[in-house]
Chains A and B, each alone.
Chain A
């Protein structure tokens, strides 16, 4: 029925004529807005939020265009289009972001309408990827495949995508607004550091409902989201969010950009007062108008029906043989492959963090290859994870070796998902006008230092996240080892935090000591790792658990001993 999904088999939301008409109208609207800006009818101040809500952000050296990948899920055809745009209008690559989107860092303003037009050809756009509106709703990158999934987050993320698109009341909020949904027992979406974090679950009757955390966020004032309601029934899902946003839109601070996020409102009002305001709105909104009808949910769920899986044995002999014959492949499987709920299938993570590489970057040739592989091995569908990797969610175990062989040949076979080399880094001073320090060279140095896959695996689960300024786009607060770039009299320094946690047991890391230089930072991270390895009770004690047990002292002593 349409041109975006090979065989229409993949679990993606299929646009129809109304969706296409909408995106087409938005492209045309933006073209006219650009004209009105050029004619002087719109001032630069007036044009700025319009441009931002179309994904266009002015960086240090050029415009950046951020393309929306709703909840990180796209088709191979869409990825090929992104590759082709990167070749034609950028410098031959794209950057996958922590919001599961893709951005181009070298875009010309005058090319933007043409790019948006090309995106519309594959049912894509750049709407609401920036600006003070509700941004792309993110979810678990293993959604619809994970063995521990309870509720399919895509269904509700798509409902929110629709509900938040050009919302008449909530497009000029005090500040940006980010929502994440997790529907599995492990939180892979970092829900407690979002403005609204949702845990989708089921009650005893099997009905879907949501736990709401509000007021989480990083930036210069990090907060862990607070529990606002334990259970919101599916039919009240939209009404409850509408109530939260209406309270925020009316009472959120507008006098200071750094105090305008909902986390500050929740903090300043106090949780109980905030809850009371939301409940009051909710009680009124709860009528038929905002009721999420089961028919709507069922209609959207139909888009995400499972692909036509084959009946396969749980254990793949081909996989076991390949693992036995090829240790590098066996290591990749152990690290980058997760359990699928369908027997005989697996979830494969393609790391975009090669040793010495730029986290989240992919060349257009790599994107084309990934698109081909997604078509051959994963029903033409792929996901972007919030840790800036790509996921092929439905790979036959029998085909994992063939997949890895091609990935490895293209420099995409790095076995470090969830390990120390799987670094999140913001664009930093190489691109960003806000940054105090560069993030990318430090990420490159660290991943090169820990390049050895065997050593990485021996260290185990340990995330490094790097932000080039206190706006914390690199999520350093919630990293096991977080690194924050600071400016000291014109020189780049790095402050190290430890003990952050992005999961449901969310925690903000603590500062270990004075900031260090870039070279010292790499050595300091290595020292932290060595202290951890020397102190852990056994291989199963994770870094953050050892840290909790032994405290900061042995780490501080080692790093700052010379001072």
Chain B
């Protein structure tokens, strides 16, 4: 599936290993949070990068103690209307200080892209037939924001000002 990064389709170095299937040792692989819980010892000594995929009901706190083991956290949106993932990403960044890649997976639409970026996501797994233009456009069509983004600390920026993303 196409990977959206910085408003463009990018190369995806990661693959997902479904539960029960072997996990390749020589390249970056994403596993499910459930598998991580059940088989965590089997990943001791692994050199290639590991990522974890959280179901939409799994909140940031569940993975927080193990975040240093993962170069990527994939946050699933079961339905695009289920906005829990926005808080999950924000908690990962703000509360648990996670600096790796946060990827939105599942059902996400371009109209949410700016919100995703502003809550700490770095990439989005988009559906096969997606229109890349809509993703590019989503980053630039609104240029004003009324809340601080993740990287801003200036208290005077709390309310309305021009947006820097995009």
Contacts and interface: CB of A to CB of B under 8 A. Distances in A.
Interface of A: 18-19, 21-22, 25-26, 28-29, 32-33, 36, 41-42, 46, 49-50, 132, 159, 162-173, 238, 246, 249-250, 254, 284, 287-293, 295-296
Interface residues of B, number: 43
B123 interface: no
A18 B86 contact: no
Nearest to B80: A46
Contacts of A49: 81
A81 to B, nearest CB: 22
Nearest to A251: B59
26 contacts: A19-B160, A21-B143, A21-B144, A25-B144, A32-B141, A41-B134, A132-B83, A162-B159, A163-B146, A163-B158, A164-B146, A166-B146, A167-B146, A168-B115, A168-B145, A169-B86, A169-B119, A170-B86, A172-B86, A172-B112, A238-B158, A254-B84, A284-B94, A287-B153, A289-B158, A293-B156
A302 to B, nearest CB: 14
Contacts of B28: none
Contact of A293 (B81, B86, B153, B158): B158
The 3 closest A-B CB pairs, nearest first, are A172-B83, A168-B118, A168-B115
Contact of A159 (B83, B95, B141, B159): B159
A37 to B, nearest CB: 11
B156 A296 contact: yes
Given A18-B162, A42-B109, A132 B142 contact: no
B11 to A, nearest CB: 24
A46 B109 contact: yes
Given A166-B146, A169-B90, A296-B156, A29 B141 contact: yes
B131 interface: yes
Contacts of A238: 158
Given A166-B145, A169-B90, 4 more contacts: A33-B111, A163-B146, A254-B84, A296-B159
A260 to B, nearest CB: 11
B141 A163 contact: no
Given A18-B144, A42-B109, A168 B158 contact: no
Contact of A249 (B87, B111, B134, B154): B87
Contacts of B161: 18
B153 to A, nearest CB: 5
Given A169-B86, A173-B83, A291 B145 contact: no
Nearest to A20: B144
A172 B82 contact: yes
B122 interface: no
Interface in B92-115: 94-95, 109, 111-112, 114-115
A284 B109 contact: no
A46 B82 CA distance: 12
Contacts of B32: none
Contacts of B90: 169, 246
Report whether over half of chain A's contact residues are helix, strand or loop; otherwise say mixed.
Answer: helix
A26 B80 contact: no
Contact of B80 (A25, A172, A254, A295): A172
A289 B87 contact: no
Given A41-B134, A169-B115, A172-B81, A292 B86 contact: no
Nearest to B61: A250
Given A41-B131, A250-B59, A296 B87 contact: no
Contacts of A254: 82, 84
A163 B159 contact: yes
Contact of A168 (B59, B94, B147): B147
Contacts of A250: 59, 84, 87-88, 91
A296 B158 contact: yes
A288 B115 contact: no
B146 A165 contact: yes
A169 B81 CA distance: 12
A23 to B, nearest CB: 9
Contacts of A168: 86, 114-116, 118-119, 145, 147, 149
Contacts of A18: 144, 160-162
Nearest to A299: B159
A41 to B, nearest CB: 6
Contacts of B128: none
A229 B114 CA distance: 33
B39 interface: no
Contacts of A165: 146
B118 A32 contact: no
Contacts of B141: 25, 28-29, 32
Contacts of B153: 287-289
Interface in B116-137: 116, 118-119, 131, 134, 137
A558 to B, nearest CB: 49
A28 B159 CA distance: 23
A132 B94 CA distance: 24
B152 interface: yes
Nearest to A46: B109
A42 B138 CA distance: 14
Most buried by A among B81, B95, B115: B81
B155 A32 contact: no
Contacts of B88: 250
A168 B138 CA distance: 13
B148 interface: yes
